[in-house]
């Protein structure tokens, strides 16, 4: 029995909607809206203009910065607009709109077959960068940066994050069942890039079929497939590392500081496609689910497809949803409309009805201590929420470890007083950042 991490919660996983549904290829969208910023880091600049004809796989936005990731056309057609459009994470963002010509034609030269074992780690990293691959679990950190840790950090372990702890989401689960050979090769590629011998596949034990599929795929390798206790937020990097390796990433540090690199299942598939087939990241598997969606599905869908068209693939809504969420219900982003498009980090689109999002009325903290006992980061969320409510953001940072909060939302989930704890915490973080910026500006004037 594997020892779990401290704290955590057991929300209803709601995965039954889609866990048995094979990945379905979505209809080609009539248009795609591709933002120049789908990652953490420097935004790209468009390198196409209105009226240009582009083909599938063509680079349409790029940046010379290291911490950045290019964007590719995901269909062939005419660029009809380069302007600001709604964005699922940033509100709005400069985007390239391509109208589908129905040909779905590849740019010359791809796809092809390549013997990846002949390539060295730098060549592999370059391929991954040029393919526009970012962390597809939702964080969207450029993958080539994560695979290029500074020399002084000795990496000895790679972890495939297949926990998929967010309720509703089943995309990783289905990929493990249907794409197991690509995952096997993808993991081998990453292990070569990192130069590590040891790797784990961490899967929550509520997906026994995925565990056996992975065990079968990785039989005879040095990769250990581990069924780990189902508990949210098991998929948080630091929790996963703790459970699989026993190492605790120090407060304020990164996984590479304990010699570990973690990648998500979708990212590994994208790495396989880029390295072996030469295909850049232009599509992904995403779960369209929720009580308000008529026919929940796991879709293989083009980047840039609008949420509206994605949901049409699932028969639309049975009722007007109360909330549309990009990602999972615990850490995802609520959307005000369906004009936003699917970007690289969209692991799911959820349409939730009123009952699902019934938040109740907030009342004062009754100090029940539930949040303290379940906080995986070992904080006192109750106190943080009270400090936030009263605008004591500096005390929150100095005395209550504000910056250690990962905003996993577990405390809000268990709170009987329905307090918006994470919201207060975000507010405190924002106030502290604003204050720091103000002080920096003052120092500059001096």
Partner 1 sequence: MNSETKVQENLFTISTSPHIRGEESISKIMWTVNLALAPAALFAIYNFGIPALITLLVGSLSAVGFEYLVQKLRKKPITISDGSAFLTGLLLAMCLPPTIPAYMAIVGSFIAIVIAKHSMGGLGYNIFNPAHIGRAAVMVSWPVAMTTWTKLSTSVDAVTTATPLNILKQQGYGKLIETFGSAPQMYKAMFIGTRNGSIGETSTILLLLGGIYLIYKGYVNWQVPVFMIGTVGILTWVFGPAGLFTGDPLFHMMAGGLIIGAFFMATDMVTIPITKKGQIIFAIGAGMLTVLIRLKGGYPEGVCYSILLMNAVTPLIDRLVRPVKFGARR
Interface segment toward partner 1; rule CB under 8 A; list 6-14, 42-50, 187-195, 211-219: 6-14
Cα–Cα dist 418/415, whole Å: 5
Interface segment toward partner 1; rule CB under 8 A; list 68-76, 170-178, 183-191, 365-373: 365-373
* Structure-token match 């594997």, residue found: 2
Q: Does 153 bind partner 1 (CB under 8 A)?
A: no
Q: Does 330 bind partner 1 (CB under 8 A)?
A: yes
Interface segment toward partner 1; rule CB under 8 A; list 21-29, 39-47, 279-287, 356-364: 356-364
Q: Does 251 bind partner 1 (CB under 8 A)?
A: yes
Q: Which of residues 252-281 bind partner 1 (CB under 8 A)?
A: 252-253
Look up residue 288 and give its DSSP letter: E
Q: Does 325 bind partner 1 (CB under 8 A)?
A: yes
Q: Does 132 bind partner 1 (CB under 8 A)?
A: no
Q: Which is nearer to partner 1, 140 or 335 (CB)?
A: 335
Q: Does 27 bind partner 1 (CB under 8 A)?
A: no
Q: Which of residues 159-188 bind partner 1 (CB under 8 A)?
A: 167
Instruction: Supply the minimum distance, in Å, between the C-beta of residue 444 and partner 1.
Output: 32
Answer for the pair 269, 179: CB distance below 8 angstroms, yes or no: yes
Answer for the pair 385, 17: CB distance below 8 angstroms, yes or no: no
Instruction: Supply the minimum distance, in Å, between the C-beta of residue 273 and partner 1.
Output: 30
Q: Which of residues 56-95 bind partner 1 (CB under 8 A)?
A: 81, 83-86, 92
Dihedral of CA 362/364/368/370: which sign? positive
Q: Does 247 bind partner 1 (CB under 8 A)?
A: yes
DSSP letter for each residue of 218-280 = TTTSSEEEEEE---BTTTSHHHHHHHHH---PPTT--GGGGTEEEEEHHHHHHHHIIIII---
Count CB-CB contacts under 10 A for residue 337.
10
Q: Does 336 bind partner 1 (CB under 8 A)?
A: yes
Cα–Cα dist 170/386, whole Å: 36
Alpha-carbon distances, residue 109 vs 53, 59, 120, 145, 277 (angstroms): 17, 13, 22, 26, 11
Q: Does 359 bind partner 1 (CB under 8 A)?
A: yes
Q: Which is nearer to partner 1, 78 or 414 (CB)?
A: 414
Alpha-carbon distances, residue 181 vs 171, 278, 309, 333 (angstroms): 16, 17, 30, 32
**Contact string (CB under 8 A) for partner 1, positions 388-417, x = contact:** -------------x--x--x-x--xxxxxx
Count CB-CB contacts under 10 A for residue 430.
11
């Amino acid at each position: 029995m594997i020892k779990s991490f401290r704290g955590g919660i057991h929300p209803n996983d709601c995965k039954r909607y889609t866990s048995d549904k094979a990945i379905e290829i979505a209809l080609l969208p009539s248009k795609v809206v591709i933002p120049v910023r789908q990652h953490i880091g420097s935004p790209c600049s468009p390198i196409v203009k209105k009226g240009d004809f582009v083909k599938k796989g063509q680079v349409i936005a790029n940046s010379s910065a290291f911490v950045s990731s290019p964007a590719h056309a995901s269909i062939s057609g005419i660029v009809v607009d380069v302007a600001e459009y709604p964005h699922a994470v940033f509100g709005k963002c400069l985007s390239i709109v391509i109208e589908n010509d129905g040909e779905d034609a590849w740019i010359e030269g791809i796809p092809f077959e390549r013997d990846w074992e002949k390539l060295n780690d730098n060549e592999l990293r370059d391929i991954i960068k040029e393919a526009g691959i970012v962390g597809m679990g939702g964080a969207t950190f450029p993958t080539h940066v994560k695979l290029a840790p500074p020399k002084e950090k000795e990496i000895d372990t790679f972890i495939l994050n297949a926990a998929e702890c967010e309720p509703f989401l089943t995309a990783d689960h289905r990929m493990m069942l249907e794409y197991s050979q690509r995952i096997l090769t993808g993991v081998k590629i990453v292990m070569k890039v990192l130069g590590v011998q040891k790797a784990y596949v961490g899967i929550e034990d509520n997906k026994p079929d995925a565990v056996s599929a992975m065990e079968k795929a990785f039989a005879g390798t040095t990769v250990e497939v581990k069924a780990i206790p189902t508990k949210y937020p098991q998929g948080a990097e630091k929790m996963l590392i703790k459970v699989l390796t026993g190492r605790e990433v120090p407060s304020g540090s990164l996984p590479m500081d304990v010699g570990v690199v973690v990648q998500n299942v979708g990212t590994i598939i994208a790495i396989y496609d880029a390295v072996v087939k030469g295909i850049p990241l232009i599509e992904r598997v995403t779960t369209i689910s929720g009580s308000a969606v008529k026919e929940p599905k796991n879709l293989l869908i083009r980047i840039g497809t609008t949420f509206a068209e994605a949901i049409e693939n699932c028969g639309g809504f049975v009722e007007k949803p109360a909330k549309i969420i990009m990602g999972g219900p615990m850490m995802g982003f609520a959307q005000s409309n369906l004009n936003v498009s699917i970007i690289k980090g969209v692991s799911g689109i959820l349409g939730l009805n009123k009952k699902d999002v019934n938040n109740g009325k907030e009342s004062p903290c009754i100090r029940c201590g539930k949040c303290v006992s379940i906080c995986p980061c070992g904080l006192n969320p109750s106190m943080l929420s009270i400090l936030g409510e009263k605008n004591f953001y500096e005390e929150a940072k100095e005395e209550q470890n504000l910056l250690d909060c990962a905003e996993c939302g577990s405390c809000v989930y268990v709170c009987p007083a329905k307090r918006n704890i994470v919201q207060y915490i975000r507010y405190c973080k924002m106030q502290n950042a604003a204050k720091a910026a103000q002080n920096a500006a003052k120092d500059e004037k001096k």
